[in-house]
Amino acid sequence: MLHVFDEVAALAEAALDAFAGLARAAVEKRGRFTVALAGGSTPRALYAQLAEHADLPWDRIELCFGDERAVPPDHRDSNARMVHEVLTHRPFIDAARVHRIPAELPPAEAAAAYERTLRTLFPDASLPRFDLVLLGLGADGHTASLFPRSPALSEQRAWVVSNPVETLGSERITLTYPVLNAADRVLFLVTGADKATALRDTLEGSAAIEDVPARGVRPASGNLLFLVDRAAASALS
Ligand code: 6PG
């Protein structure tokens, strides 16, 4: 499903409504709401809106991360740092419910540690079923830290892996496809003309997943939603 917005502000508003609605419903039904947050810059607008909503059931919301750069949490590239600066510094969010990837550790250890964290959040589960996974889209078609032709793309057993990303010349830690595709709902937030080709190749045509990793995100639940702006949608047929 695809929704195209004229303005990024309207997109962020819609994302907020979706997040709030899903959170309230999950807490009502199952007593908690588990979400994997996207990194990068696009979701900042949503996180800034969430930071203004103390009225959400934050004491029942478990905030996890879809991926992380291999840097400490105070590093300017850290997704955990961005989310803290924009959202989780707010007093109504208990740090005990913010589960960042411990990327200050060596990458493989960080991935293993994070998998242990997820297994405590989702005990006795063959896969963690997040109520919501938020994802962005890179201009090269990557999502989370699943990059074209990277080793993480073929991981079918581990929930979290680290892998070298050639194009970045650095390591990334990421949730794997089995976890992303076990989610009850996946929400992509994509803005900007620089994403137009990647979005077209994700939604249309027959590019290989190896070349456009976002194509590999196909939640078994069928609940896959793209909230995009007009610039990002400009190459769609
Ligand atoms: C990250 C993200 C990554 C991001 C895309 C888009 O750690 O950077 O998880 O997958 O969503 O790179 O990034 P922008 O939103 O900054 O364009």
Residue closest to 224 by CA, chosen among 190, 187, 193, 195: 187
pLDDT tens-digit readout, 42-78: 999 999 999 999 999 999 999 999 999 999 999 999 9
Q: Which two tokens stand for residue 30?
A: 């199952």
Alpha-carbon span 15 to 191, nearest angstrom: 13
41 lines ligand 1 (CB under 6 A): yes
Check: CB of residue 93 under 8 Å from CB of residue 54.
no
Quick check: is 198 in a domain?
Answer: no
Which of the four pLDDT bands, split at 50, 70 and 90, describes residue 6? very high
From the number of C-beta atoms within 10 Å of its C-beta (0-12, 13-18, 19+), residue 34 rates as: buried
Task: Supply the pLDDT for residue 175.
Answer: 98
Beta bridge partners of 134: 187
Quick check: is 199 in a domain?
Answer: no
Instruction: Supply the CATH number for residue 43's domain.
Output: 3.40.50.1360
Quick check: is 208 in a domain?
Answer: no
Alpha-carbon span 36 to 79, nearest angstrom: 12
Q: Provide the residue range defining the domain that includes 129.
A: 2-172
Q: Tell me, rounded to whole angstroms, the distance of Cα 195 from its chain centroid.
A: 16
Residue of 41, 179, 186 to mutate, ligand 1, most atoms within 8 A of C-beta: 41
CA–centroid distance, 29 to ligand 1, in Å, is: 31
Task: Supply the pLDDT for residue 124.
Answer: 87
Alpha-carbon span 184 to 23, nearest angstrom: 12
Task: Supply the pLDDT for residue 62.
Answer: 98
Question: Percent of the chain having pLDDT more than 90?
Answer: 100
Q: How many helices (H) and strands (E) does the chain have?
A: 6, 9
Atom of ligand 1 nearest to the CA of 195: 17
Quick check: is 83 in a domain?
Answer: yes
Q: Which two tokens stand for residue 36?
A: 């994997």
Q: Which two tokens stand for residue 226?
A: 């793209």
Residue of 42, 162, 163, 168 to mutate, ligand 1, most atoms within 8 A of C-beta: 42
78 lines ligand 1 (CB under 6 A): no
Q: How many Cβ atoms are within 10 Å of 172's Cβ, its own excluded?
A: 25
Quick check: is 235 in a domain?
Answer: no
CA-CA-CA-CA torsion sign (78, 129, 91, 112): negative
Atom of ligand 1 nearest to the CA of 66: 9
Cα angle vertex 226, ends 181, 25, to 5°? Answer: 70
Quick check: is 193 in a domain?
Answer: no
Atom of ligand 1 nearest to the CA of 172: 7
Decide: pTM greater than 0.95: yes
CA–centroid distance, 93 to ligand 1, in Å, is: 23
The residue nearest atom 11 of ligand 1, judged by CA position, is 136
CA–centroid distance, 101 to ligand 1, in Å, is: 16
Quick check: is 229 in a domain?
Answer: no
Please tell me the total count of domains within the chain. Answer: 1
Alpha-carbon span 105 to 78, nearest angstrom: 13
Task: Supply the pLDDT for residue 136.
Answer: 98
| Element containing residue 118 per DSSP (H, E) | helix 107-121
Task: Supply the pLDDT for residue 121.
Answer: 98
CA–centroid distance, 65 to ligand 1, in Å, is: 12
Q: Tell me, rounded to whole angstroms, the distance of Cα 206 from its chain centroid.
A: 24
What mean pLDDT comes out for the span 141-160?
98
Quick check: is 230 in a domain?
Answer: no
